[in-house]
Amino acid sequence: MQMISVMQICIQSYPGIGTALVNTIIREAEQCGYWSIYSAIFSINKASIALHKKCGFREIGYRERIAKDRFGKWQNTTLMEYRAS
Protein backbone atom coordinates (compact mmCIF):
# COMPACT_ATOMS: atom_id res chain seq x y z
CA MET A 1 0.00 0.00 0.00
CA GLN A 2 1.28 3.45 -0.91
CA MET A 3 0.06 6.42 1.14
CA ILE A 4 0.09 9.99 -0.12
CA SER A 5 -1.15 13.04 1.73
CA VAL A 6 -2.27 16.10 -0.19
CA MET A 7 -2.26 19.21 2.00
CA GLN A 8 -4.32 22.29 1.31
CA ILE A 9 -2.04 25.06 0.02
CA CYS A 10 -3.68 28.48 -0.02
CA ILE A 11 -6.38 27.21 -2.37
CA GLN A 12 -7.82 30.68 -2.76
CA SER A 13 -4.46 31.97 -3.97
CA TYR A 14 -4.05 29.19 -6.53
CA PRO A 15 -7.44 28.32 -8.06
CA GLY A 16 -7.51 24.80 -9.47
CA ILE A 17 -4.32 23.61 -7.77
CA GLY A 18 -6.18 21.04 -5.64
CA THR A 19 -7.80 19.49 -8.72
CA ALA A 20 -4.47 19.49 -10.55
CA LEU A 21 -2.70 17.79 -7.62
CA VAL A 22 -5.32 15.07 -7.17
CA ASN A 23 -5.50 14.42 -10.94
CA THR A 24 -1.69 14.16 -11.06
CA ILE A 25 -1.73 11.61 -8.24
CA ILE A 26 -4.39 9.61 -10.10
CA ARG A 27 -2.48 9.73 -13.39
CA GLU A 28 0.85 8.76 -11.80
CA ALA A 29 -0.72 5.96 -9.77
CA GLU A 30 -2.37 4.49 -12.88
CA GLN A 31 0.92 4.69 -14.80
CA CYS A 32 2.55 2.72 -11.96
CA GLY A 33 -0.12 0.03 -12.20
CA TYR A 34 -2.27 0.98 -9.22
CA TRP A 35 -5.96 0.44 -9.89
CA SER A 36 -7.41 1.87 -6.69
CA ILE A 37 -6.62 4.85 -4.47
CA TYR A 38 -8.03 5.41 -0.99
CA SER A 39 -8.34 8.61 0.98
CA ALA A 40 -9.43 9.31 4.56
CA ILE A 41 -10.60 12.89 5.06
CA PHE A 42 -11.89 14.63 8.18
CA SER A 43 -15.65 14.59 7.65
CA ILE A 44 -15.89 18.29 8.55
CA ASN A 45 -13.64 19.09 5.56
CA LYS A 46 -16.47 19.42 3.04
CA ALA A 47 -14.25 21.22 0.49
CA SER A 48 -11.79 18.30 0.33
CA ILE A 49 -14.60 15.76 0.04
CA ALA A 50 -16.12 17.80 -2.83
CA LEU A 51 -12.71 18.03 -4.52
CA HIS A 52 -12.22 14.26 -4.35
CA LYS A 53 -15.72 13.64 -5.73
CA LYS A 54 -15.00 16.09 -8.56
CA CYS A 55 -11.89 14.03 -9.42
CA GLY A 56 -13.80 10.73 -9.55
CA PHE A 57 -13.62 9.45 -5.96
CA ARG A 58 -16.70 8.04 -4.27
CA GLU A 59 -17.61 7.77 -0.60
CA ILE A 60 -17.30 4.22 0.67
CA GLY A 61 -17.77 4.73 4.40
CA TYR A 62 -16.74 6.58 7.50
CA ARG A 63 -14.98 6.01 10.81
CA GLU A 64 -16.23 7.65 13.99
CA ARG A 65 -13.87 9.50 16.33
CA ILE A 66 -10.81 7.94 14.71
CA ALA A 67 -8.39 10.87 14.63
CA LYS A 68 -7.71 14.07 16.53
CA ASP A 69 -7.45 17.40 14.76
CA ARG A 70 -4.69 19.90 15.51
CA PHE A 71 -6.74 21.23 18.44
CA GLY A 72 -6.99 17.79 20.06
CA LYS A 73 -10.68 17.28 19.20
CA TRP A 74 -11.75 13.83 18.02
CA GLN A 75 -13.02 13.83 14.44
CA ASN A 76 -14.80 11.39 12.15
CA THR A 77 -13.19 10.56 8.83
CA THR A 78 -14.90 9.96 5.50
CA LEU A 79 -13.38 7.11 3.47
CA MET A 80 -13.15 7.69 -0.27
CA GLU A 81 -12.06 5.44 -3.13
CA TYR A 82 -10.98 5.96 -6.72
CA ARG A 83 -11.01 2.99 -9.09
CA ALA A 84 -9.19 3.10 -12.39
CA SER A 85 -11.39 2.44 -15.39
pLDDT value at residue 2: 53
What total number of domains does the chain contain?
1
Question: What confidence score (pLDDT) does residue 17 get?
Answer: 83
Asked, for residue 10, whether it belongs to a domain, the answer is no
Q: Which residue range is the domain that position 59 belongs to?
A: 17-83
Q: From CA 46, how far away is CA 3, in angstroms rounded?
A: 21
Tens of pLDDT, residues 41-72: 999 999 899 999 999 999 999 999 998 988 99
Does any domain span residue 2? no
Is the predicted pLDDT of residue 5 greater than 60, yes or no?
no
Q: Would you say residue 56 lies in a domain?
A: yes
Which residue type is seen at 74? Answer: W
Where is 19: in which H helix or E strand?
helix 17-31
Q: What is the CATH number of the domain that holds 28?
A: 3.40.630.30
User: Residue 63: inside a domain, yes or no?
Assistant: yes
